[in-house]
Amino acid sequence: MLSVLDLFAVVSFPAIDPIAFSIGPLAVHWYGLAYVAGILIGWLVARDLLRRPNLWHNGTPPATVEQIDDFILWVAIGIVAGGRIGYILFYDFAAVAANPVRAIEVWNGGMSFHGGFLGATLAMVFFARKHLVPLWSLFDIVASVAPLGIFFGRIANFINGELWGRPSDVPWAMAFPTGGPFPRHPSPLYEAALEGLLLFVMLQLLARAFGALRQPGRITGVFVTLYAAARIFVEFFREPDAQIGYLFGGWLTMGMVLSIPMALVGLWILAWSGRAARAPVKED
């Protein structure tokens, strides 16, 4: 007789249609809706932060709600363009070099978080310079809501049955449709929980309960460091991309390689932010 754990161990991947709904010939995928949901909900949370002067140094928010409204288009372009270009450069360069048309075949999937992160960063730099918004405070606003996008994106990865984990016999292992007959770690759900939901809650607590937004760079440093740490941890359970495989020793993956310098940058930001907060204020 099967135990409760045995029953869970043989549960197949839930059959969820990657297409949320169709309007005539137009098919709307969960993956696209995930990007929309992450950006829109993040925008609403960012607006709420700016409407609370007590969260900011000297009671002065670094930007207006109207400026954040304008910024949404900038960051959306940065995330999508950076995510796609990053995937091509980091994970699929050989295939795209052999067939350049593949670069625009977005319906075949392929988005890199690290590329999207760089694209969003460039969008923030350009926007801050144009609108005279304090750059590190803008970084903090975006970092405080970025895990929402990660959460929805990883849930969409799970619905698509992609980015599955390594074979496993844990009670919650699932047989993914494209992962062969073996039960695997549902690694997209690990990432949704750690890099998304948990990190979002932590950053909101730092911002709202501990005054972290009054110290420019702190929220950004925490986000960058903890995301990189969570990603490296999950990579031990996630199957590497087939076209790349392991880079060394049967354990080192491209996701780890890209996350290590990210973690170092995050620690540097935290150290810089701490020194800046301790620096004496110069009087005229």
pLDDT digits (tens, 9 = 90+) for 154-186: 999 999 998 999 999 998 999 998 888 889 999
pLDDT over 90, % of the chain: 65
What number of other Cβ atoms are within 10 A of residue 282's Cβ?
5
Span 251-267, pLDDT tens digits: 899 999 999 999 999 99
| Structure confidence at residue 200 (pLDDT) | 98
SS3 content of the chain, % helix, strand, coil (to 5): 65, 5, 25
Span 87-103, pLDDT tens digits: 888 887 777 788 787 77
Nearest to 265 by CA among 117, 111, 69, 156: 117
Task: Name the strand (E) or helix (H) holding 201.
Answer: helix 199-209
Q: Find the mean pLDDT for residues 208-224.
A: 97
Computed over every residue of the chain, the mean pLDDT equals 89
| Structure confidence at residue 105 (pLDDT) | 63
Distance CA 50, CA 68 (A): 9
More confident call, 127 vs 26: 127
Q: Find the mean pLDDT for residues 40-50.
A: 97
| Structure confidence at residue 284 (pLDDT) | 44
pTM of this prediction exceeds 0.85 = yes
| Structure confidence at residue 8 (pLDDT) | 46
Lowest model confidence (mean pLDDT) among 49-53, 153-157, 199-203: 153-157
Give Cβ neighbours of residue 103 (< 8 Å, ≥ 6 apart): 84, 88, 96
Report whether 231 belongs to an annotated binding site.
no
| Structure confidence at residue 13 (pLDDT) | 83
104, pLDDT greater than 70: no
Q: Find the mean pLDDT for residues 56-71.
A: 95
| Structure confidence at residue 97 (pLDDT) | 80
Nearest to 190 by CA among 213, 168, 214: 168
Counting runs of H as helices and runs of E as strands, what totals does the chain give?
A: 10, 2
Token digits of residue 12: 């197949």
Token digits of residue 281: 């204020």
